Each structure stands twice: as C-alpha cells, then as structure tokens.
Amino acid sequence: MRKLFLNDKFILLLIAVNTVCIFIEGFQNVNPQIHRIAGIIDYAITILFIFELMVKVQALGLKNYLATNWNRLDLVLVLLSLSSLILPFTGNSERDFSYLLVLRISRVFKFFRFLRFVPGIEHLIAGVQRALRASIVVIIGFFVFIVVCALVSNNLFKEMAPEYFGDPVQSMYSIFRVFTIEGWYEVPDAVIKNQPSLAVFFIRIYFIFLLITGGLFGLSIVNSIFVDAMVSDNNDNLERKVDLLTDEVRSLRASLASPPAKRGKRPRA
C-alpha cells in the first residue's frame, strides 16, 4: 500500500477517475443509480487522497514533505476537499442548509493536482513568474488607466446609460469591454441613443480614443511585455549557445592562422 500511494501514476489514475465522476454528477438527467455510484466513488477517492497524504508525510517526514511547492499545493488541495466529506451526513437537511452546497465546489480544487503531471510545468510556471515580475509595473499602470477612464465615463454617461456607467464598478467593466474590443460598438451605441447630433459626434470620438489607447496600444503593450518576459529564458539559452559557438570558431581560426612550429634540424652523424 505504501508503494502504491507513493506511485505518481496511481495518483494520476485516481485524479482522472475523480474527474469523470464529478463530470457525471454535473448532469441532472443521469440515471439516479449512476449518479449515486459516481458520488460514492468521489467520496472514496477523497478518503484515498487523505491516506496518500498520511503515507507521504510518514515516508518523507513533515519537513521534507513541505520542502517542495508541489507537496504544499497537494496539502492545501486535500484540506480544501475535506469539507465535502460532511455532505453525505447532511441527508435531507442539505436542502434546509443550502449554504452547504458551496462545499461541493471544494472538490473541484483536486483537479489542480493534474498540473504536476504536465511535462515541463516547472519551466512554464517559472516563465509566468518571470513575466509577472517584468510586467507588474505595466499592468499596474494599465489598471490605473482603466480606473481613470472608468471614473471619467461614470461622471459623463451615468445618466445616459446607467446600465453601463451607473457606478464606478459598472463603468470599469464597460471600459474593459471596450478595451478588449468585446463591447466596442454596443457600449457607445447605448450612450448615444436619443442624444443630439453634436453630442453623438464627440461621444464617438471619445470612445474611438479609448479603443485606440486602451485596446490597440494598451493591451498590446501589456501582452508583448508579458510574452517577451516568458520566452526570455529561451532567448538567453540561445544567446549563450551562440556565444559559445563564436568562441570556438575564433579559437579554431586562431589555431589555423598561427604558423606551424619549426622542426629541429636532424643532427649530422
């Protein structure tokens, strides 16, 4: 049993089966018997994950177990899924205490354990962390620009289109929709409705300005900096290889260009 719970392939199999069970439970028109079996399997796998945690802590020791980020993530995910174990004991009272249904969401967090089995996931996570550090200033600046545009738009259009600019939060969401080119025509059309021709002209100019500055330039700059920082590690490796190859070529040229060593004369007999 100890070898079994220390086998990553077995844990991956449990996660895959658990995914299928929760996927089946999401359909209301499934045969009740199948629905019940899927729930029992999900409950059993959650208990198996607890045993896995206990076995790994016993085998590695708590300090060594918590030394890696993946083990810490596993611990958090298992603890989050523990709350779903009380659901079978609620019976019909689950309907009376509807807030307990939120505990079902905790089971979904177990799926994040799939990440540790993705090939090259450590390199990908390191690239994301590096990209966040490199682009954090630009992201904050872009967020501030959204807030400023949202506050200006809230004061200008809250009476014209309260469903889009009724309060600062709604206004931020509407501005973000314009920036992402999702609501680039719906939002302005709602604002200019029943407005005089001169006001329509300036409102359209205003939203064109928002679309160009925030959508075409703002998001493009954020994306380019983020992606460039993510792939910078690959570029650094290529640059090191090119530098190493250049040094080898130079040393080879130097050895070929140097005159051959003079041969000593053979002494006469």
Interval 214-255: pLDDT, tens: 988 888 888 888 887 777 665 556 667 777 788 777 877 777
Of 222, 157, 231, nearest to 192 by C-alpha is 157
pLDDT single digits (tens) 170-184: 999 999 999 988 778
pTM above 0.75, yes or no: no
199 has pLDDT over 60: yes
- Where does the pLDDT of residue 101 fall: very low under 50, low under 70, confident under 90, or very high at 90 and above? very low
DSSP state of 7: -
For 122, 148, 160, 188, 213, the CA distances from 199, given in Å and listed in that order, are: 54, 21, 11, 12, 21
**Coil vs helix vs strand at 16:** helix
pLDDT single digits (tens) 46-66: 888 888 888 888 888 888 888
More confident residue, 233 or 24: 24
The number of angstroms, rounded, from the C-alpha of 209 to the middle of its chain's C-alpha atoms is 31
C-beta of residue 184 within 8 angstroms of C-beta of residue 213: no
Of the chain, the percentage scoring pLDDT greater than 90 comes to 18
Q: Which residue has the tokens 């004061």?
A: 155
Q: Which two tokens stand for residue 193?
A: 């409705």
165 has pLDDT over 90: yes
State the pLDDT at residue 204.
92
99 has pLDDT over 50: no
Q: Under CATH, which architecture does the 2-117 domain have? A: Up-down Bundle (1.20)
Mean pLDDT of all residues in the chain? 79
CATH 1.20.120.350-classified regions of the chain: 2-117
Q: Under CATH, which architecture does the 124-253 domain have? A: Orthogonal Bundle (1.10)
Alpha carbon distance 149, 154 (integer Å): 8
Of 155, 164, 79, 63, nearest to 113 by C-alpha is 79
